[in-house]
Amino acid sequence: MMKRRDMLGLVAAAGASASHAPSHGDSTATVPPKTGIVDTNINLFHWPFRRLPLDETRSLVTKLRSLGITCAWAGSFEALLHRDISAVNDRLVAECDRFDVLTPVGSVNLSLPDWEEDLMRCLDVHGMKMIRVHPNYHGYQLDDTRFDSLLTQIAAAGCVVQLAVAMEDTRTQHERIQVADVDLTPLPDIMSRHRSARVQLLNYRPRGPLLEELKGVHGLYFDTARVEGTDGVPSLAGLVTSDRVLLGTHAPFLIPEAALIRVHESNRLDSEALKRIYCTNAGRLASGQA
């Protein structure tokens, strides 16, 4: 079995040999380079409840590059509680413009009356290919008609919805702000009505009978951030196929090395599966080929 320090050396070497990812203003920004790793789940700025290591963008980017990550899809922690989502997205784009590794992922809050205007600004002004939503922080369920409308509009635009199932373990949340994981029970039925929609679950802990239902949902993808155990990622890839699993670290809330180690540690994924999880799947999803 590959030792952890050997694995981290391998991904660092991959990053050193990778070409630079293009800036997000380029039409190919969300397509990963031929070498290197794509992290589909990071956030910029400050977590609302405490400071995190690497919560300054330059430090985070330096860490990601050192691990061979040449492209990272970045949302914003500010999207959780700020009400001016347009300003949140503007700041995110400006920050991502400073680093060629970062691709901005816009946020919309469906509980706000102008969410469709925010969505159109993400798509038309910023040219974003991914939109991230936080139903549990924004106070709606997936069977809400607004989520149904979002899927319709995003699918028509050929873009991807990133659905953040959780941001923090419920056991460590601030006592005055308790936020349960998003209830995914309605998702299979909803997506059966949106066959062209593509949704990636972020920070989902795959387990239980619901996973058996989700594995058959067309257009549904998974990240690795909260997958547990040394066999967790290979088991998920075996259940839903490795074509539907993408690396996501949830940095800087979680240390990015953890997700990389879990992908490699079991020694059960062959080189082609690793390539798909680390890079190819992200390119296919972002470019509309998935």
Task: Tell me the pLDDT of the chain averaged across its residues.
Answer: 89
Residue 10 has pLDDT above 80, yes or no: no
pLDDT for the residue numbered 136:
98
Euclidean distance between CA atoms 23 and 102, whole angstroms: 7
pLDDT at 2 over 60: no
Instruction: Give 264-285 pLDDT, tens digit per residue.
Output: 876 889 999 999 999 999 999 9
Domain parsing of the chain, residue ranges:
4-19+36-168+175-285
Between residues 251 and 14, which one has the greater pLDDT?
Answer: 251
CATH of domain 4-19+36-168+175-285: 3.20.20.140
Write out the two tokens for 98. 């400073």
Angstrom distance (rounded) from CA 94 to CA 82: 17
User: Could you tell me what percentage of the chain is helix, strand and coil, using 3-state DSSP and rounding each to the nearest 5?
Assistant: 40, 15, 45
Task: Tell me the pTM.
Answer: 0.89
Structure tokens at 155: 């699918």
Q: How much is the pLDDT for 265?
A: 75
pLDDT above 80: residue 24: no
pLDDT score at 34? 44
More reliable by pLDDT, 26 or 158? 158
Residue 229: the pLDDT is: 87
Q: Among 30-44, 211-225, 251-265, 274-288, where is mean pLDDT lowest?
A: 30-44
Whole-number pLDDT of residue 230: 83
| Contact yes or no for 229/193 (Cβ under 8 A) | no
Q: For residue range 114-162, list pLDDT tens digits in order.
A: 999 999 999 999 999 999 999 999 999 999 999 999 999 999 999 999 9
Using one digit for the tens of pLDDT, what is the confidence trace for 86-110? 999 999 999 999 999 999 999 999 9
Confidence class for position 35, pLDDT limits 50, 70, 90: low
Inter-residue contact 75 to 92 (CB < 8 Å): yes
Residue 19 CA from chain centroid, whole number: 22
